[in-house]
Amino acid sequence: MVPIMEEYLSWIKPKGQTRRLLGKARDIWNGYLRHPFVRGIGDGTLDKEKFRFYLKQDYLYLISTRKFLP
């Protein structure tokens, strides 16, 4: 199995500084991409109530931070 980050890098083909920075963050990115929530969204197995809860929390976050935008 190809590590997820390596597969992603093969799709976007970054160069120079971008490739170096993504390489340094490889373990972190792989953790994000392997998180059960993200995997569930990707393969369609995420419980609808969990997704609904996420959307509500995201909405509240966006509303609370909009005052900082111009």
The upper half-sphere exposure of residue 47, i.e. CA atoms within 13 Å in the direction of its Cβ, equals: 4
User: Looking at residue 68, what DSSP letter applies?
Assistant: G
Return the ∠ at Cα 47 (arms to 65 and 5), rounded to 5°: 70
The domain spans of the chain are 4-68
Question: What pLDDT does 60 receive?
Answer: 95
Q: Per residue in 1-51, pLDDT tens?
A: 456 667 777 777 878 888 888 888 888 888 888 899 988 998 899 999 999
Token pair in block for residue 11? 């799709």
Distances (CA, A) of 6 to 61, 64, 69: 32, 36, 35
Q: What is the pLDDT of residue 1?
A: 44
